[in-house]
Amino acid sequence: MAFIYAMAFQEGIPKTTPFRVTYKWLSYTLGVHVNQAKQMLYDYVERKRKENSGAQLHVTYLVAGNLIQNGHICHKVAVVREDKLEAMKSKLATIASVHVYSIQKALLKDSGPLYNTDYDIVKTNLHNCSKFSAIHCAAAVPRTSAEVSQVQTSVQAGSQTPSDTNAVSVPVVNGHGPSTTKQTAQQPKGIMGMFAAKAASKPQDTNKETKAEAKEAPGVSAVSSKPPAKGNIMNNFFGKAAMNKLKVNSVPEQPKEEKEVVKPSVPVAEPESSPNTVAEKPGKKTESARIQQKDKKSKMKRVDKSDNEEERIPENLKKKRKRIKQLQSDSSDEEDVPPSPMPEEEKAPSPPPVPALKTELEPASTEVSAGGKKRKRKRVLKSKMFIDEEEGCMVTEKVYESESCTDSEDDFAKSKPPAAHKQPVLPMRKEPKEERKNLKKGAATANRANKQVSIMGFFQKK
């Protein structure tokens, strides 16, 4: 058996290593139990020393035992060089274990390199770091993903429930009423729920959103009774989160929840507006958003408009693409909605999120109204994903969606340099988009710092 070990050991060591082998390195590399690895090292040393060619081998040992220190027994575990081995052993009252720790060619001045070797090999084997150890723990099983999410919610709920239970038995730490506690404790859950829901899918069904909003209104009004100590933005944020929580309770359907999550503008206004406006909300908001957007646009230069359009395009395309997967009817409804005389508004065949998204991406967003706040908040939520998507979408949609979005393209092509976009050829299609992109870059693109723009924009603009 020793012979087998030696053979495996020799094969196992790559010739290119600086020849420092610790028992742990050997154990992971050969896939053997740590005790076997230690034995193999020992056998190797013995063999080499017998052959008298092991003169250049330096060995370190691990010594463990009991030591009387200050009157009490102290257990000591130490890595020592071979020359200090006997000295250490003589210090210990009882020796529990001595075994080879590592073998190296060069004499080590300190144990730092041993740590490095061990660290490296453990790092590459983190997923099964206890596989070859001598102790097996039955309780150490990775959590399943269901348990993980449960733990996450329970952590948030756990911070909430102790205060609730304390209110019953032990005096509660905080003096707030349970409703407030519930709401604010729901906030993290709502936020996490939003991100989780966003990651899951991107619903674009406004009809469903409308229904969902109507459902949420009663819950929202309860929420809105919270004293508005914080600014409007915060209220909107937490209100939305609280609404999400209520949604979870009342409507456990995930798509709906996601829709609420993704829907940027409408739910935010809920805490601020009265429940009466809920029913008219979608239309109203869309209109108000459009109107606001239009006002904003009139103030801004064409550059910004084109920026918006450009941003709207991928949003549109993206939304359209998604809608194809879901309900066809909605997409057609969306497209028919915008009135023709408003070229920019044509963009908003897409649901309100799009104009809101545009406005949030625009540099000068100093809206004071709740609508403005909505947009601002939306930017926080949507921008990430939107931007990420856009990097990919931009490219693909240039290529792929040139046909389907021709009509909308034509509409806001009016505001563009007329010659450019007329030819629905892919490369030409790219140019206006690029131009828009570059124009946007020329204009204050502080908000889009992470969007790559082509340097050609400088030349084309002139």
Residue 16's SS3 state is: coil
Cα separation, 44 vs 53, whole angstroms? 11
Residue 359's SS3 state is: helix
By beta-carbon proximity to another protein, the closer residue of 102 and 438 is 102
Residue 99 pairs in a beta bridge with 62
By beta-carbon proximity to another protein, the closer residue of 40 and 313 is 40
Q: Is 368 in the site for another protein (CB under 8 A)?
A: no
Determine which residue in the list 13, 57, 172, 222 makes contact with another protein, applying CB under 8 A.
172
Q: Which of residues 29-68 bind another protein (CB under 8 A)?
A: 32-36, 38-39, 42-43, 46, 60-62, 64-68
* Least distance (Å) between residue 165 CB and another protein: 8
Residue 79 — φ and ψ, nearest 5°?
A: -100, 125
* Least distance (Å) between residue 74 CB and another protein: 5
Sign of CA dihedral 96, 102, 104, 109: negative
* Least distance (Å) between residue 386 CB and another protein: 24
User: What is the DSSP-derived secondary structure letter of residue 383?
Assistant: H
Residue by residue, DSSP assigns 33-81 as -HHHHHHHHHHHHHHHHHTT-GGG-EEEEEEEEEEEETTEEEEEEEEEE
Q: Is 273 in the site for another protein (CB under 8 A)?
A: no
* Least distance (Å) between residue 19 CB and another protein: 19
By beta-carbon proximity to another protein, the closer residue of 108 and 453 is 108
Q: Which of residues 67-96 bind another protein (CB under 8 A)?
A: 67-69, 72-81, 84-85, 87, 89-96
Q: Is 427 in the site for another protein (CB under 8 A)?
A: no
Q: Which of residues 131-160 bind another protein (CB under 8 A)?
A: 132-143, 147-148, 151-152, 155, 158-160
Determine which residue in the list 58, 176, 211, 430 makes contact with another protein, applying CB under 8 A.
176
Residue 78 — φ and ψ, nearest 5°?
A: -140, 145
Instruction: Quote the tokens at residue 324.
Output: 């194809």
| 404-407 LR contacts (CB < 8 Å, sep 24+) | 404/317, 404/320, 405/313, 405/316, 405/317, 405/320, 407/335
* Least distance (Å) between residue 339 CB and another protein: 47
Q: State the Cα torsion 370-376-377-383 to the nearest 10°.
A: 150
By beta-carbon proximity to another protein, the closer residue of 44 and 386 is 44
Q: Which of residues 104-123 bind another protein (CB under 8 A)?
A: 108-112, 114-115, 118-119, 122-123
Sign of CA dihedral 426, 432, 433, 434: positive
Cα separation, 257 vs 238, whole angstroms? 15
* Least distance (Å) between residue 91 CB and another protein: 6
Q: State the Cα torsion 274-272-285-321 to the nearest 10°.
A: -120
Q: Which of residues 183-242 bind another protein (CB under 8 A)?
A: 184-185
Q: Is 431 in the site for another protein (CB under 8 A)?
A: no
168-176, 199-207, 219-227, 294-302 -> range binding another protein (CB under 8 A): 168-176
* Least distance (Å) between residue 1 CB and another protein: 7
Asked whether the beta carbons of 291 and 230 are under 8 A apart, the reply is: no
* Least distance (Å) between residue 37 CB and another protein: 9
By beta-carbon proximity to another protein, the closer residue of 141 and 419 is 141
Determine which residue in the list 6, 12, 19, 180 makes contact with another protein, applying CB under 8 A.
180
Q: Is 97 in the site for another protein (CB under 8 A)?
A: yes
* Least distance (Å) between residue 169 CB and another protein: 10
Asked whether the beta carbons of 353 and 378 are under 8 A apart, the reply is: yes
Q: Which of residues 2-21 bind another protein (CB under 8 A)?
A: 2
By beta-carbon proximity to another protein, the closer residue of 72 and 325 is 72
Which of 111, 120, 105, 44 has its CA nearest to residue 78? Answer: 111
Question: Which residues 6+ apart lie within 8 Å of 151 measured at CB?
Answer: 143
